[in-house]
Amino acid sequence: MLNRALDHLEEWIITFLIGAATVIIFVAVLHRYASGMPIPGVQDFLLGIHMGWAQELCIFMFVWMAKFGAAYGVRTGIHVGVDVLINALSDRVRAKFVIFGLLAGALFTGIIGSFGAHFVWELFHTDQVSADLEAPKWLVYLCIPLGSYLMCYRFLQVTWSFIRTGHLPHADHGHVEGIDKEDATEWAKLPSDLHPADVKPESRP
């Protein structure tokens, strides 16, 4: 139950950040070009709207999104990895290397999270703010310990799952959300000049 709630929270944060950043960038670019049009009244109104903070805010949002997105990548197995040599080993030796790699990732992200937490704690006792938004610097850098600790937890979660099942999370890049695998192969069951009727359902174009 806790893992499911954490999964949804992680996805909601990433979705909100990328969606909000896209809207802010669009509005900022539109405002910049519209402000240059010599339209009486409208130009003066647009020039009176200050949007210099938009770029800084989007940078912060993308940094937060990257930190939480990295943890999401560990959970779903979408990170790029070179496993040619690992897969050539025997199952027992391969399992040991996989567990070592996952625990090394957990150790590294745990260390980064601890250093980040100490850094944020030091910033919390200062008056440092960002240049345009004038947001507290500790709030901006809070994504380092939060994202790193979450990524550490995901590494440990994947490690425990691998020990129990022997499988790692693997992202299916050909899967479309909302479409079952059976539905995706329905084309093979239909008579068509392009898709012969004797094609097996498990075949893919």
Q: Which residues of the chain have pLDDT under 70?
A: 172-205
Cβ density class 87-108: b for 16+ within 10 Å, e for less: eeeeeeebeeebeeebeebbee
Q: Where on the phi/psi map is residue 171: left (φ > 0), alpha (ψ -120 to 50), or beta?
A: beta
**pTM for the full predicted model:** 0.79
> Residue 12: which H helix or E strand, with range?
helix 2-35
Burial class (CB in 10 A: 0-12, 13-18, 19+), 125: exposed
Give the per-residue pLDDT at 201. 46
Residue 205: what pLDDT? 47
Distance from first CA to last CA of the chain, Å, rounded? 39
Confidence (pLDDT) at 42: 83
Are the C-beta atoms of residues 158 and 102 closer than 8 Å to each other?
A: yes
Q: What is the structure's pLDDT at 196? A: 46
DSSP 3-state assignment of 126? Answer: coil
Listed residue (74, 76, 99, 69) closest to 86, CA to CA: 99
Cα 205 to chain centroid distance, Å, stands at 30
pLDDT at 9 (0 to 100): 92
Of 84, 90, 101, 70, which Cα lies nearest the Cα of 168?
101
Round to whole Å and give the CA distance between 129 and 20.
Answer: 22
Structural tokens at position 71:
């943890």
